[in-house]
Structure 1
Amino acid sequence: MKQVVAYIFVAVAAVGCASSGKVSSLLFSPSDDRKLGEQVSQEIESNPQEYPILSQSQYPKAYQYLNSMKDAILKSNDIDYLQEFAWELKIIDNDEVLNAFCTPGGYIYVYTGLIKYLENADDLAGVMGHEIAHADRRHSIKQMEKQYGLSILMSIALGNDPSQLAQIVAQLAGTGAILKFSRSDEAEADEFSVKYLADTKYACNGAASFFEKLIKEGQTGGTPEFLSTHPSPSSRVSDINKTASAEACSTKTVNEVGMNYADFKASLPK
Protein backbone atom coordinates (compact mmCIF):
# COMPACT_ATOMS: atom_id res chain seq x y z
CA MET A 1 0.00 0.00 0.00
CA LYS A 2 1.32 3.37 -0.94
CA GLN A 3 1.96 5.77 1.87
CA VAL A 4 -0.16 8.92 1.79
CA VAL A 5 1.98 11.33 3.77
CA ALA A 6 0.05 13.73 5.96
CA TYR A 7 2.08 16.72 4.81
CA ILE A 8 0.44 16.87 1.38
CA PHE A 9 -1.75 19.95 1.28
CA VAL A 10 -1.21 20.66 4.95
CA ALA A 11 -0.48 24.23 5.99
CA VAL A 12 1.40 25.20 9.10
CA ALA A 13 0.09 26.96 12.19
CA ALA A 14 1.46 30.47 12.15
CA VAL A 15 1.23 33.92 13.64
CA GLY A 16 -1.94 35.47 12.22
CA CYS A 17 -1.64 37.32 8.92
CA ALA A 18 -3.97 38.54 6.22
CA SER A 19 -4.57 36.63 2.98
CA SER A 20 -2.99 39.41 1.00
CA GLY A 21 0.07 41.58 1.30
CA LYS A 22 3.64 40.58 2.00
CA VAL A 23 4.06 38.25 4.96
CA SER A 24 6.61 39.04 7.62
CA SER A 25 7.83 36.70 10.34
CA LEU A 26 8.10 38.03 13.87
CA LEU A 27 11.75 37.08 14.26
CA PHE A 28 13.26 35.44 11.17
CA SER A 29 14.09 37.44 8.04
CA PRO A 30 13.51 36.09 4.51
CA SER A 31 17.27 35.65 4.15
CA ASP A 32 17.19 33.47 7.26
CA ASP A 33 14.40 31.41 5.67
CA ARG A 34 16.72 30.77 2.76
CA LYS A 35 19.66 29.87 5.00
CA LEU A 36 17.52 27.33 6.82
CA GLY A 37 16.18 25.94 3.55
CA GLU A 38 19.73 25.56 2.26
CA GLN A 39 20.71 23.60 5.36
CA VAL A 40 17.65 21.37 4.93
CA SER A 41 18.54 20.83 1.27
CA GLN A 42 22.10 19.84 2.16
CA GLU A 43 20.84 17.43 4.81
CA ILE A 44 18.49 15.78 2.31
CA GLU A 45 21.20 15.40 -0.32
CA SER A 46 23.58 13.91 2.24
CA ASN A 47 21.12 11.07 2.87
CA PRO A 48 20.46 9.40 -0.52
CA GLN A 49 19.23 6.21 1.11
CA GLU A 50 16.29 8.03 2.68
CA TYR A 51 15.93 10.65 -0.07
CA PRO A 52 17.13 9.21 -3.41
CA ILE A 53 17.16 12.31 -5.62
CA LEU A 54 17.01 11.79 -9.37
CA SER A 55 19.98 13.20 -11.23
CA GLN A 56 19.13 16.08 -13.55
CA SER A 57 21.76 14.88 -16.02
CA GLN A 58 20.18 11.41 -16.18
CA TYR A 59 16.58 12.63 -16.35
CA PRO A 60 16.77 15.94 -18.22
CA LYS A 61 13.32 15.67 -19.81
CA ALA A 62 11.60 15.07 -16.47
CA TYR A 63 13.33 18.06 -14.91
CA GLN A 64 12.67 20.25 -17.93
CA TYR A 65 8.96 19.48 -17.70
CA LEU A 66 8.67 20.01 -13.96
CA ASN A 67 10.82 23.14 -13.90
CA SER A 68 8.69 24.63 -16.66
CA MET A 69 5.63 24.08 -14.47
CA LYS A 70 7.38 25.60 -11.45
CA ASP A 71 8.58 28.63 -13.43
CA ALA A 72 5.08 29.26 -14.77
CA ILE A 73 3.67 29.31 -11.24
CA LEU A 74 6.42 31.61 -10.00
CA LYS A 75 5.54 34.19 -12.64
CA SER A 76 2.36 34.93 -10.70
CA ASN A 77 2.06 38.48 -9.39
CA ASP A 78 1.01 36.98 -6.05
CA ILE A 79 4.49 35.56 -5.32
CA ASP A 80 6.10 37.78 -2.67
CA TYR A 81 9.62 36.38 -2.38
CA LEU A 82 10.51 35.56 -5.97
CA GLN A 83 13.98 37.10 -5.74
CA GLU A 84 14.71 36.38 -2.08
CA PHE A 85 14.09 32.61 -2.16
CA ALA A 86 15.96 29.88 -4.06
CA TRP A 87 13.04 28.13 -5.81
CA GLU A 88 15.13 25.09 -6.66
CA LEU A 89 13.37 21.82 -7.48
CA LYS A 90 14.37 18.18 -6.99
CA ILE A 91 12.58 14.88 -7.68
CA ILE A 92 12.80 12.15 -5.02
CA ASP A 93 12.67 8.64 -6.48
CA ASN A 94 10.22 6.84 -4.21
CA ASP A 95 7.02 5.47 -5.74
CA GLU A 96 5.61 4.53 -2.34
CA VAL A 97 5.30 8.09 -1.06
CA LEU A 98 2.56 10.38 -2.32
CA ASN A 99 4.07 13.66 -1.26
CA ALA A 100 5.59 16.99 -2.20
CA PHE A 101 7.00 19.63 0.12
CA CYS A 102 8.72 22.99 0.02
CA THR A 103 11.22 24.08 2.64
CA PRO A 104 11.50 27.59 4.02
CA GLY A 105 13.37 29.62 1.45
CA GLY A 106 11.91 27.79 -1.53
CA TYR A 107 13.60 24.39 -1.98
CA ILE A 108 10.93 22.20 -3.61
CA TYR A 109 10.82 18.38 -3.51
CA VAL A 110 8.37 16.16 -5.38
CA TYR A 111 8.17 12.38 -4.95
CA THR A 112 7.77 10.13 -7.98
CA GLY A 113 4.95 8.40 -6.11
CA LEU A 114 2.84 11.57 -6.21
CA ILE A 115 3.66 12.25 -9.85
CA LYS A 116 2.58 8.75 -10.89
CA TYR A 117 -0.51 8.83 -8.68
CA LEU A 118 -1.89 12.01 -10.23
CA GLU A 119 -3.47 11.93 -13.68
CA ASN A 120 -2.74 15.26 -15.33
CA ALA A 121 -0.61 18.37 -15.24
CA ASP A 122 -3.32 20.49 -13.61
CA ASP A 123 -3.40 18.17 -10.59
CA LEU A 124 0.33 18.42 -10.04
CA ALA A 125 0.38 22.18 -10.67
CA GLY A 126 -2.25 22.51 -7.95
CA VAL A 127 -0.11 20.55 -5.50
CA MET A 128 3.00 22.53 -6.41
CA GLY A 129 1.15 25.82 -6.07
CA HIS A 130 0.02 24.81 -2.62
CA GLU A 131 3.51 23.83 -1.51
CA ILE A 132 5.00 27.03 -2.93
CA ALA A 133 2.39 28.92 -0.91
CA HIS A 134 3.67 27.26 2.27
CA ALA A 135 7.09 28.79 1.64
CA ASP A 136 6.03 32.12 0.16
CA ARG A 137 3.40 32.77 2.85
CA ARG A 138 6.06 31.69 5.38
CA HIS A 139 3.80 29.24 7.19
CA SER A 140 6.44 26.70 8.16
CA ILE A 141 9.05 29.16 9.39
CA LYS A 142 6.51 30.79 11.70
CA GLN A 143 5.55 27.46 13.20
CA MET A 144 9.22 26.56 13.65
CA GLU A 145 9.80 29.83 15.50
CA LYS A 146 7.17 28.69 18.00
CA GLN A 147 8.43 25.12 18.20
CA TYR A 148 12.19 25.67 18.40
CA GLY A 149 12.67 29.27 19.47
CA LEU A 150 14.82 31.86 17.73
CA SER A 151 18.26 30.89 19.07
CA ILE A 152 17.93 27.19 18.20
CA LEU A 153 16.37 27.92 14.83
CA MET A 154 19.13 30.38 13.95
CA SER A 155 21.73 27.83 15.00
CA ILE A 156 20.11 25.28 12.68
CA ALA A 157 20.02 27.82 9.84
CA LEU A 158 23.76 28.39 10.28
CA GLY A 159 24.49 24.66 10.21
CA ASN A 160 25.46 24.40 13.88
CA ASP A 161 22.83 21.93 15.07
CA PRO A 162 22.76 18.80 12.86
CA SER A 163 20.57 16.72 15.17
CA GLN A 164 17.79 19.30 15.15
CA LEU A 165 18.27 19.78 11.42
CA ALA A 166 17.55 16.10 10.79
CA GLN A 167 14.34 16.45 12.81
CA ILE A 168 13.21 19.40 10.71
CA VAL A 169 13.88 17.46 7.51
CA ALA A 170 11.78 14.56 8.81
CA GLN A 171 8.95 16.95 9.66
CA LEU A 172 8.94 18.67 6.29
CA ALA A 173 9.26 15.43 4.33
CA GLY A 174 6.55 13.76 6.36
CA THR A 175 8.79 10.94 7.57
CA GLY A 176 8.72 11.90 11.24
CA ALA A 177 6.57 14.00 13.55
CA ILE A 178 4.44 16.30 11.44
CA LEU A 179 4.31 20.02 12.11
CA LYS A 180 0.95 21.00 13.54
CA PHE A 181 -1.06 22.94 11.02
CA SER A 182 -3.89 25.43 11.43
CA ARG A 183 -7.01 25.35 9.34
CA SER A 184 -6.69 29.04 8.50
CA ASP A 185 -3.25 28.58 6.95
CA GLU A 186 -4.46 25.43 5.24
CA ALA A 187 -7.19 27.50 3.63
CA GLU A 188 -4.72 30.23 2.72
CA ALA A 189 -2.44 27.78 0.95
CA ASP A 190 -5.43 26.45 -1.00
CA GLU A 191 -6.45 30.01 -1.84
CA PHE A 192 -3.03 31.03 -3.09
CA SER A 193 -2.67 27.88 -5.16
CA VAL A 194 -5.74 29.07 -7.07
CA LYS A 195 -4.35 32.60 -7.36
CA TYR A 196 -0.98 31.37 -8.63
CA LEU A 197 -2.52 29.06 -11.21
CA ALA A 198 -4.92 31.78 -12.36
CA ASP A 199 -1.90 33.41 -14.00
CA THR A 200 -0.88 30.20 -15.82
CA LYS A 201 -2.19 27.87 -18.55
CA TYR A 202 -3.19 25.31 -15.90
CA ALA A 203 -6.68 24.89 -14.48
CA CYS A 204 -6.71 27.26 -11.52
CA ASN A 205 -8.62 24.77 -9.35
CA GLY A 206 -6.07 22.02 -9.92
CA ALA A 207 -5.53 21.74 -6.15
CA ALA A 208 -9.03 20.23 -5.84
CA SER A 209 -8.18 17.26 -8.04
CA PHE A 210 -6.05 15.51 -5.43
CA PHE A 211 -8.95 15.48 -3.00
CA GLU A 212 -11.41 14.44 -5.69
CA LYS A 213 -9.22 11.46 -6.53
CA LEU A 214 -9.01 10.39 -2.88
CA ILE A 215 -12.78 10.70 -2.55
CA LYS A 216 -13.35 8.68 -5.72
CA GLU A 217 -11.01 5.91 -4.61
CA GLY A 218 -12.55 5.74 -1.17
CA GLN A 219 -9.11 5.72 0.51
CA THR A 220 -8.71 1.97 0.05
CA GLY A 221 -6.36 0.33 2.49
CA GLY A 222 -7.32 2.54 5.42
CA THR A 223 -7.96 6.19 6.05
CA PRO A 224 -4.80 8.32 5.84
CA GLU A 225 -4.01 10.39 8.92
CA PHE A 226 -4.31 13.49 6.75
CA LEU A 227 -7.99 12.82 6.10
CA SER A 228 -8.84 11.94 9.68
CA THR A 229 -7.32 15.03 11.29
CA HIS A 230 -8.22 17.85 8.90
CA PRO A 231 -11.37 19.25 7.24
CA SER A 232 -13.02 16.81 4.84
CA PRO A 233 -11.72 16.57 1.27
CA SER A 234 -15.19 17.45 -0.02
CA SER A 235 -15.10 20.73 1.92
CA ARG A 236 -11.67 21.50 0.54
CA VAL A 237 -12.85 20.82 -3.02
CA SER A 238 -15.84 23.11 -2.49
CA ASP A 239 -13.73 25.93 -1.04
CA ILE A 240 -11.12 25.70 -3.79
CA ASN A 241 -13.81 25.83 -6.47
CA LYS A 242 -15.45 28.83 -4.75
CA THR A 243 -12.11 30.64 -4.82
CA ALA A 244 -11.75 29.81 -8.51
CA SER A 245 -15.20 31.27 -9.17
CA ALA A 246 -14.34 34.41 -7.21
CA GLU A 247 -11.11 34.81 -9.17
CA ALA A 248 -13.02 34.18 -12.43
CA CYS A 249 -10.11 32.05 -13.67
CA SER A 250 -10.14 29.17 -16.11
CA THR A 251 -10.83 25.67 -14.78
CA LYS A 252 -10.36 24.08 -18.18
CA THR A 253 -7.82 21.26 -18.33
CA VAL A 254 -4.57 22.44 -19.88
CA ASN A 255 -3.92 21.65 -23.54
CA GLU A 256 -0.26 20.63 -23.55
CA VAL A 257 1.87 21.09 -26.63
CA GLY A 258 4.93 18.88 -27.01
CA MET A 259 5.77 16.83 -23.94
CA ASN A 260 2.58 16.04 -22.02
CA TYR A 261 1.93 14.63 -18.56
CA ALA A 262 1.88 11.03 -19.79
CA ASP A 263 5.26 11.57 -21.44
CA PHE A 264 6.56 13.13 -18.23
CA LYS A 265 5.51 10.12 -16.15
CA ALA A 266 7.02 7.78 -18.74
CA SER A 267 10.34 9.62 -18.50
CA LEU A 268 10.70 8.67 -14.81
CA PRO A 269 12.27 5.43 -13.54
CA LYS A 270 9.92 2.45 -13.92
Structure 2
Amino acid sequence: MTSPRRPLLAPLASLALAACAHQRIAAETALANVLIPPSQEKQLGLQVKQQLEQEQHVQYVDDPVVTGYVGEVAGRILAQAKKDRPDVDWSVKVINDPKTVNAFAVPGGWLYVYSGLLLAADDTAEVAGVLGHESGHVVARHSARQMVDAFGLETLASLALGKNPGAASQLAAGLAGKTALLAYSRGDESEADEYGARYASAAGYDPHGIATFFQKLERGEGKQPGWAAFLSTHPATPDRIEKVNAYIEQHHLTGSGGRSGVELAKVKKRLEAIPPPPAAPPKPGA
Protein backbone atom coordinates (compact mmCIF):
# COMPACT_ATOMS: atom_id res chain seq x y z
CA MET A 1 0.00 0.00 0.00
CA THR A 2 1.40 3.39 -0.99
CA SER A 3 2.10 5.75 1.85
CA PRO A 4 -0.02 8.92 1.65
CA ARG A 5 3.03 10.90 2.70
CA ARG A 6 5.10 9.93 -0.35
CA PRO A 7 3.66 12.59 -2.69
CA LEU A 8 4.90 15.20 -0.19
CA LEU A 9 8.53 14.11 -0.56
CA ALA A 10 9.18 15.96 -3.82
CA PRO A 11 7.78 19.31 -2.62
CA LEU A 12 9.64 18.94 0.67
CA ALA A 13 12.86 18.20 -1.22
CA SER A 14 12.35 21.31 -3.34
CA LEU A 15 11.78 23.40 -0.23
CA ALA A 16 14.93 21.98 1.33
CA LEU A 17 16.98 22.81 -1.76
CA ALA A 18 15.53 26.33 -1.86
CA ALA A 19 16.37 26.77 1.82
CA CYS A 20 19.95 25.61 1.18
CA ALA A 21 20.29 28.01 -1.74
CA HIS A 22 18.95 30.86 0.39
CA GLN A 23 21.39 30.01 3.18
CA ARG A 24 24.29 29.91 0.70
CA ILE A 25 23.36 33.33 -0.72
CA ALA A 26 23.00 34.75 2.78
CA ALA A 27 26.41 33.36 3.73
CA GLU A 28 28.06 34.75 0.57
CA THR A 29 26.45 38.15 1.17
CA ALA A 30 27.65 38.21 4.78
CA LEU A 31 31.20 37.34 3.69
CA ALA A 32 31.09 39.94 0.93
CA ASN A 33 30.01 42.59 3.42
CA VAL A 34 33.04 41.81 5.59
CA LEU A 35 35.68 41.15 2.92
CA ILE A 36 34.57 43.70 0.31
CA PRO A 37 33.25 46.75 2.19
CA PRO A 38 31.85 49.73 0.24
CA SER A 39 35.23 51.51 0.34
CA GLN A 40 36.85 48.50 -1.31
CA GLU A 41 34.05 48.35 -3.89
CA LYS A 42 34.79 51.94 -4.93
CA GLN A 43 38.47 51.15 -5.32
CA LEU A 44 37.71 48.06 -7.41
CA GLY A 45 35.35 50.07 -9.59
CA LEU A 46 38.06 52.66 -10.21
CA GLN A 47 40.55 49.95 -11.13
CA VAL A 48 38.06 48.40 -13.55
CA LYS A 49 37.67 51.83 -15.17
CA GLN A 50 41.44 52.05 -15.57
CA GLN A 51 41.59 48.53 -17.02
CA LEU A 52 38.92 49.40 -19.57
CA GLU A 53 40.59 52.64 -20.63
CA GLN A 54 44.27 51.67 -20.52
CA GLU A 55 44.23 48.01 -21.51
CA GLN A 56 40.99 47.54 -23.44
CA HIS A 57 41.17 51.06 -24.90
CA VAL A 58 37.45 51.76 -24.70
CA GLN A 59 36.35 55.14 -25.98
CA TYR A 60 33.42 57.07 -24.60
CA VAL A 61 30.73 58.98 -26.43
CA ASP A 62 30.97 62.68 -25.57
CA ASP A 63 28.12 63.98 -27.73
CA PRO A 64 26.04 66.23 -25.43
CA VAL A 65 22.72 65.01 -26.83
CA VAL A 66 23.62 61.36 -26.17
CA THR A 67 25.21 61.89 -22.77
CA GLY A 68 22.43 64.26 -21.73
CA TYR A 69 19.78 61.70 -22.65
CA VAL A 70 21.50 58.82 -20.87
CA GLY A 71 22.24 61.03 -17.87
CA GLU A 72 18.58 62.08 -17.60
CA VAL A 73 17.25 58.50 -17.77
CA ALA A 74 19.96 57.15 -15.49
CA GLY A 75 19.45 59.97 -13.02
CA ARG A 76 15.79 59.07 -12.56
CA ILE A 77 16.62 55.38 -12.18
CA LEU A 78 19.57 55.88 -9.85
CA ALA A 79 17.54 58.17 -7.60
CA GLN A 80 15.58 55.02 -6.77
CA ALA A 81 18.69 52.86 -6.42
CA LYS A 82 20.16 55.44 -4.06
CA LYS A 83 17.32 54.74 -1.63
CA ASP A 84 18.51 51.13 -1.34
CA ARG A 85 22.25 51.86 -1.48
CA PRO A 86 22.87 55.43 -0.22
CA ASP A 87 26.56 54.60 0.13
CA VAL A 88 27.09 54.26 -3.64
CA ASP A 89 28.37 57.16 -5.74
CA TRP A 90 27.04 56.37 -9.20
CA SER A 91 28.77 57.17 -12.48
CA VAL A 92 27.46 56.37 -15.98
CA LYS A 93 29.52 56.11 -19.17
CA VAL A 94 28.46 55.48 -22.78
CA ILE A 95 31.00 53.34 -24.65
CA ASN A 96 31.41 54.13 -28.34
CA ASP A 97 30.84 50.70 -29.87
CA PRO A 98 27.84 50.55 -32.23
CA LYS A 99 28.38 46.86 -32.98
CA THR A 100 28.04 45.69 -29.38
CA VAL A 101 24.64 45.49 -27.69
CA ASN A 102 25.50 45.36 -24.02
CA ALA A 103 25.55 47.13 -20.67
CA PHE A 104 27.20 46.20 -17.40
CA ALA A 105 27.87 47.49 -13.92
CA VAL A 106 30.77 46.93 -11.57
CA PRO A 107 31.16 47.41 -7.81
CA GLY A 108 31.28 51.00 -6.67
CA GLY A 109 28.45 52.17 -8.91
CA TRP A 110 30.13 52.36 -12.30
CA LEU A 111 27.55 51.72 -15.05
CA TYR A 112 28.57 51.26 -18.68
CA VAL A 113 26.21 51.33 -21.66
CA TYR A 114 27.38 50.52 -25.18
CA SER A 115 26.13 52.76 -27.96
CA GLY A 116 25.00 49.58 -29.72
CA LEU A 117 22.43 48.99 -27.00
CA LEU A 118 20.95 52.45 -27.48
CA LEU A 119 20.74 51.77 -31.21
CA ALA A 120 19.04 48.41 -30.60
CA ALA A 121 16.43 49.61 -28.10
CA ASP A 122 13.02 50.72 -29.36
CA ASP A 123 12.23 53.33 -26.73
CA THR A 124 13.30 54.95 -23.47
CA ALA A 125 11.33 52.52 -21.30
CA GLU A 126 13.59 49.72 -22.56
CA VAL A 127 16.73 51.75 -21.83
CA ALA A 128 15.38 52.55 -18.35
CA GLY A 129 14.68 48.88 -17.69
CA VAL A 130 18.22 47.87 -18.66
CA LEU A 131 19.76 50.63 -16.52
CA GLY A 132 17.55 49.58 -13.62
CA HIS A 133 18.61 45.98 -14.10
CA GLU A 134 22.32 46.83 -14.08
CA SER A 135 21.99 49.11 -11.05
CA GLY A 136 20.17 46.23 -9.35
CA HIS A 137 23.29 44.10 -9.64
CA VAL A 138 25.22 46.75 -7.70
CA VAL A 139 22.48 47.31 -5.12
CA ALA A 140 22.24 43.57 -4.43
CA ARG A 141 26.05 43.24 -4.39
CA HIS A 142 25.96 40.44 -6.94
CA SER A 143 29.54 41.05 -8.15
CA ALA A 144 30.81 40.97 -4.58
CA ARG A 145 29.02 37.67 -3.96
CA GLN A 146 30.40 36.22 -7.17
CA MET A 147 33.91 37.26 -6.15
CA VAL A 148 33.53 35.34 -2.90
CA ASP A 149 32.52 32.31 -4.96
CA ALA A 150 35.14 32.70 -7.70
CA PHE A 151 38.27 33.85 -5.91
CA GLY A 152 37.87 32.28 -2.49
CA LEU A 153 38.26 33.49 1.05
CA GLU A 154 42.07 33.54 1.13
CA THR A 155 42.42 35.96 -1.79
CA LEU A 156 39.66 38.25 -0.58
CA ALA A 157 40.86 38.16 3.02
CA SER A 158 44.38 39.15 1.93
CA LEU A 159 42.85 41.97 -0.10
CA ALA A 160 40.72 43.17 2.81
CA LEU A 161 43.76 43.15 5.13
CA GLY A 162 45.93 44.99 2.63
CA LYS A 163 48.40 42.10 2.41
CA ASN A 164 48.00 41.38 -1.30
CA PRO A 165 47.91 44.50 -3.50
CA GLY A 166 48.08 42.35 -6.63
CA ALA A 167 44.77 40.74 -5.75
CA ALA A 168 42.94 43.99 -6.46
CA SER A 169 44.36 44.09 -9.99
CA GLN A 170 43.40 40.45 -10.49
CA LEU A 171 39.82 41.09 -9.38
CA ALA A 172 39.59 44.26 -11.47
CA ALA A 173 40.83 42.44 -14.56
CA GLY A 174 38.20 39.74 -14.05
CA LEU A 175 35.45 42.32 -13.68
CA ALA A 176 36.62 44.38 -16.67
CA GLY A 177 36.69 41.29 -18.85
CA LYS A 178 33.48 39.89 -17.32
CA THR A 179 35.06 36.46 -17.30
CA ALA A 180 33.03 33.29 -16.90
CA LEU A 181 34.25 33.16 -13.31
CA LEU A 182 32.15 36.22 -12.59
CA ALA A 183 29.05 35.29 -14.56
CA TYR A 184 25.83 36.01 -12.72
CA SER A 185 23.60 33.14 -11.69
CA ARG A 186 20.01 32.79 -12.91
CA GLY A 187 18.84 33.89 -9.49
CA ASP A 188 21.00 37.02 -9.67
CA GLU A 189 19.68 37.89 -13.11
CA SER A 190 16.07 37.35 -12.04
CA GLU A 191 16.58 39.53 -8.97
CA ALA A 192 18.16 42.26 -11.11
CA ASP A 193 15.19 42.07 -13.50
CA GLU A 194 12.90 42.79 -10.56
CA TYR A 195 15.00 45.77 -9.52
CA GLY A 196 14.90 47.01 -13.11
CA ALA A 197 11.10 46.83 -13.29
CA ARG A 198 10.65 48.37 -9.84
CA TYR A 199 13.05 51.26 -10.40
CA ALA A 200 11.63 51.99 -13.86
CA SER A 201 8.10 52.07 -12.46
CA ALA A 202 9.07 54.35 -9.57
CA ALA A 203 10.78 56.68 -12.07
CA GLY A 204 7.60 56.92 -14.14
CA TYR A 205 8.61 54.61 -16.97
CA ASP A 206 6.65 51.61 -18.20
CA PRO A 207 8.08 48.73 -16.11
CA HIS A 208 7.47 46.32 -18.99
CA GLY A 209 10.34 47.95 -20.89
CA ILE A 210 12.87 45.39 -19.75
CA ALA A 211 10.56 42.55 -20.80
CA THR A 212 9.94 43.99 -24.27
CA PHE A 213 13.69 44.46 -24.75
CA PHE A 214 14.26 40.80 -23.88
CA GLN A 215 11.42 39.79 -26.22
CA LYS A 216 13.06 41.69 -29.05
CA LEU A 217 16.37 39.95 -28.44
CA GLU A 218 14.64 36.58 -28.15
CA ARG A 219 12.89 37.02 -31.50
CA GLY A 220 16.07 38.15 -33.21
CA GLU A 221 18.51 35.79 -31.52
CA GLY A 222 21.12 34.67 -34.05
CA LYS A 223 20.06 37.26 -36.64
CA GLN A 224 22.01 40.18 -35.18
CA PRO A 225 25.65 39.33 -34.31
CA GLY A 226 25.99 42.37 -32.06
CA TRP A 227 23.26 41.07 -29.77
CA ALA A 228 25.41 38.09 -28.77
CA ALA A 229 27.25 40.15 -26.13
CA PHE A 230 24.09 40.93 -24.18
CA LEU A 231 22.58 37.49 -24.66
CA SER A 232 25.73 35.74 -23.45
CA THR A 233 25.28 37.25 -19.98
CA HIS A 234 21.54 37.99 -20.07
CA PRO A 235 19.81 34.97 -21.67
CA ALA A 236 16.44 36.17 -22.96
CA THR A 237 14.50 33.03 -22.13
CA PRO A 238 10.68 32.87 -22.21
CA ASP A 239 10.75 31.79 -18.55
CA ARG A 240 12.68 34.90 -17.60
CA ILE A 241 10.30 37.16 -19.50
CA GLU A 242 7.31 35.48 -17.87
CA LYS A 243 8.84 35.90 -14.43
CA VAL A 244 9.45 39.64 -14.73
CA ASN A 245 5.96 40.21 -16.18
CA ALA A 246 4.46 38.20 -13.32
CA TYR A 247 6.48 40.26 -10.83
CA ILE A 248 5.14 43.48 -12.36
CA GLU A 249 1.56 42.24 -12.07
CA GLN A 250 1.98 40.80 -8.59
CA HIS A 251 3.44 44.03 -7.21
CA HIS A 252 1.06 46.28 -9.14
CA LEU A 253 3.86 48.23 -10.78
CA THR A 254 2.57 51.02 -12.96
CA GLY A 255 4.00 53.64 -15.29
CA SER A 256 3.54 54.48 -18.94
CA GLY A 257 6.39 56.87 -19.68
CA GLY A 258 9.14 56.38 -22.22
CA ARG A 259 7.11 54.58 -24.87
CA SER A 260 6.99 57.18 -27.66
CA GLY A 261 10.51 56.52 -28.94
CA VAL A 262 10.87 60.15 -30.05
CA GLU A 263 13.69 61.08 -27.67
CA LEU A 264 15.62 57.90 -28.40
CA ALA A 265 15.24 58.45 -32.15
CA LYS A 266 17.10 61.76 -31.79
CA VAL A 267 19.85 60.02 -29.87
CA LYS A 268 20.14 57.29 -32.51
CA LYS A 269 20.52 59.90 -35.22
CA ARG A 270 23.42 61.48 -33.32
CA LEU A 271 25.03 58.10 -32.68
CA GLU A 272 24.83 57.12 -36.34
CA ALA A 273 26.89 60.23 -37.18
CA ILE A 274 29.67 59.35 -34.73
CA PRO A 275 32.59 57.43 -36.31
CA PRO A 276 33.25 54.04 -34.72
CA PRO A 277 36.38 53.83 -32.58
CA PRO A 278 39.65 52.80 -34.25
CA ALA A 279 40.85 49.28 -33.72
CA ALA A 280 42.76 48.76 -30.50
CA PRO A 281 46.55 48.60 -30.93
CA PRO A 282 47.98 45.07 -30.90
CA LYS A 283 49.36 43.81 -27.62
CA PRO A 284 53.14 43.49 -27.35
CA GLY A 285 54.29 40.14 -28.67
CA ALA A 286 50.98 39.43 -30.42
- TM-score, length of structure 2 as denominator length: 0.73
The correspondence of residues 1-270 of structure 1 with structure 2, limited to 5 A, is: 15-17=24-26, 25-47=33-55, 49=57, 51-55=58-62, 59-76=63-80, 79-82=83-86, 84-149=87-152, 152-153=155-156, 160-161=165-166, 162=169, 164-171=171-178, 176-177=179-180, 179-220=182-223, 224=228, 233-250=237-254, 252-254=256-258, 260-268=263-271, 269=274
Partner of 1:123, secondary structure, is helix
Deviation at 1:135, TM superposition (A): 0.7
Partner of 1:252, secondary structure, is coil
Aligned to 2:6: none
2:43 partner letter: K
Inter-partner Cα distance in structure 1 for 2:157 and 2:44: 8
Assess, with a 3 A threshold, how the Cα gap between structure 1 residues 253 and 29 changes in structure 2: closer, same or farther.
same
Assess, with a 3 A threshold, how the Cα gap between structure 1 residues 14 and 128 changes in structure 2: closer, same or farther.
farther
Gapped regions of structure 1 (runs ≥ 5)? 1-12
Instruction: Determine which structure has greater relative contact order: mean sequence separation of CA pairs < 8 Å that are 6+ residues apart, divided by chain length.
Output: 1
Asked if the contact 1:89/1:108 (under 8 Å) is kept, the reply is yes
Assess, with a 3 A threshold, how the Cα gap between structure 1 residues 206 and 38 changes in structure 2: closer, same or farther.
same
Larger-Rg structure = 2
1:29 partner letter: P
For residues 67-91 of structure 1, what are the alpha-carbon distances to aligned partners after superposition, in whole Å with 9 as ceiling and x for unaligned?
A: 1111101222774213x22210111
2:213 partner letter: F
1:16 partner letter: I
- TM-score, length of structure 1 as denominator length: 0.77
Partner of 2:182, secondary structure, is coil
Deviation at 1:30, TM superposition (A): 1.7
2:140 partner letter: R
Deviation at 1:168, TM superposition (A): 2.7
Partner of 2:177, secondary structure, is helix
Asked if the contact 2:125/2:205 (under 8 Å) is kept, the reply is yes
Assess, with a 3 A threshold, how the Cα gap between structure 1 residues 134 and 228 changes in structure 2: closer, same or farther.
closer
Inter-partner Cα distance in structure 2 for 1:128 and 1:250: 18
1:62 partner letter: V
For residues 21-41 of structure 1, what are the alpha-carbon distances to aligned partners after superposition, in whole Å with 9 as ceiling and x for unaligned?
A: x99735221222112111111
CA RMSD of aligned residues (A): 3.4
Inter-partner Cα distance in structure 2 for 1:64 and 1:186: 28
For residues 17-68 of structure 1, what are the alpha-carbon distances to aligned partners after superposition, in whole Å with 9 as ceiling and x for unaligned?
A: 49xxx9973522122211211111122222463x12223xxx1221111011
Inter-partner Cα distance in structure 2 for 1:219 and 1:130: 23
Inter-partner Cα distance in structure 1 for 2:209 and 2:199: 11
Assess, with a 3 A threshold, how the Cα gap between structure 1 residues 182 and 227 changes in structure 2: closer, same or farther.
same
In terms of fraction of residues, the more helix-rich structure is: 2
Percent identity between the aligned chains? 31
